[in-house]
Amino acid sequence: MGRDEPSAESETEPPAPPFTLRDAEQIVRRLAPALHEHGAWVRRVHTMLICRTQPAAEDLYPVGERATELALWFRDEESEYIRRHPQYAEAEASYREVRSLAADLLRAIADDVRIAPADYGAFASAVARFEENMEALISGVWMLLSATDPLTGIATLPALMPRLQQERDRLRRTNNVCSVCMIDLDHFKEINDRYGHAVGNKVLEAVSRYFASRLRRYDQVCRYGGEEFVIMLPNTDLEAAVPIIERLRSGLARLPVILDDGTRLTITGSFGIAPLAPTGPVHASIEHADQAMYEAKRAGRNQVRLWQEPRTTG
C-alpha cells in the first residue's frame, strides 16, 4: 500500500514551484537596476573612505531607515522560489550588514575619526559575501529555468528523468513502491484549431498550475510534450495512486478556464497509471503508463486506467 508520508530520502526533493520565463524576466527587470544602484553606491563609499570626502546625509543611515532599490526588492519580491532559496535570506542579511558597516565608517569620516583597518576589512568582507550570495541566488534562478518548461513553469521531461532514475534505484535498495501517471488532454487539437494557439497555451498554463497545486509536495509533475504530462508518485502503489489521480481527473473537469470574451472551456484528460519498475529503463515504465492512458482514450476519454501486464501463455 502507498503511504501519505514520504521517506526521508524522497522528502528532500520537493517539486519546484511553478516558475516561468516571464517570472525570471520580471525579477531581472527589477533586480538589475537595483544591483546597478548598489554597485554605484559601493564605489562611492570607497571613494569617500579613500579621499575622506564628506558623505551625504542618506549614507549615514542603515538600510532599514532608507528605502534603497535593493531593500525594496528584498521587501517586495513575491516569487515563492526566490524567497525559499537559501541564498535569499543570506543575501538580505549580508546586504543589511553592508549598509550598517558602511554607515559606521562614513560617520567616522563625518566626525573626522580615524578608521581602524579591521573595521574597513569587515566592510569589505561583507561586500564580498553579499556579492557571493547574490551570484548564487541568480545562478539558482537560471538553473531552475534550464529544467523548467518556459510556457507552463513546471519541470521538463529531461529534468524529471534523473528524479525517476533516482527513485528507481531507491526502489531497488528499499523494496518500496512508486507509480507513474501519463496524462493527455482530451480534444486539445480542437481547442487550438477553434480558438487559436494563444488559447491553447492559456489552457496548458492553467492545467499545469492546477496539477502543481494539487499534488503532494514530494510528487513531481512534468510536461512530457505538447498536451501530455507525466506525474511521479513516490511511496505510492497502484491501489493508492488511483484515488489521487481520480481526484486530479475530476478536479480538472471542473477547472475554470475562461476566455476574454467570457467563453468557459471544459478541459478533461485521459490518465494512465503504471508502477515504476525497480529494474530496467525508466522509459519502459513511462511507456506502460502511456499504454494505460490510450486505454482510457479508447474507453471514451476523461477516465483513469491502470496498466495491465500482458498475460503469458504457457
Give the domain ranges of the chain: 21-146, 154-306
Torsion, CA 237, CA 230, CA 19, CA 236, rounded to 10: 0
pLDDT value of position 166: 93
pLDDT value of position 137: 85
**21-146 and 154-306: identical CATH topology:** no
> Cα separation of 163 and 183, whole Å?
18
CATH code of the domain made up of 154-306: 3.30.70.270
Enzyme catalytic residues:
227
What number of CA atoms fall less than 13 Å from residue 246's CA on the CB side? 8
> Cα separation of 117 and 110, whole Å?
17
pLDDT value of position 243: 97
> Cα separation of 176 and 189, whole Å?
38
Cβ within 8 Å of residue 308, ≥6 positions away: 292
Which residue type is seen at 62? P
Is-contact 238 275, C-beta < 8 A?
Answer: yes
Residue 31 CA to its chain's centroid (Å) = 19
pLDDT value of position 104: 93
For residue range 270-292, list pLDDT tens digits in order.
999 999 999 989 999 999 999 99
pLDDT value of position 14: 35
Place of cell 498550475: 209
CATH code of the domain made up of 21-146: 1.20.120.30
Q: Identify the segments of the chain with pLDDT beneath 50.
A: 1-17, 65
Query: Pairing between strand 257-258 and 264-265?
Result: antiparallel
Helix (H) or strand (E) holding 180: strand 178-185
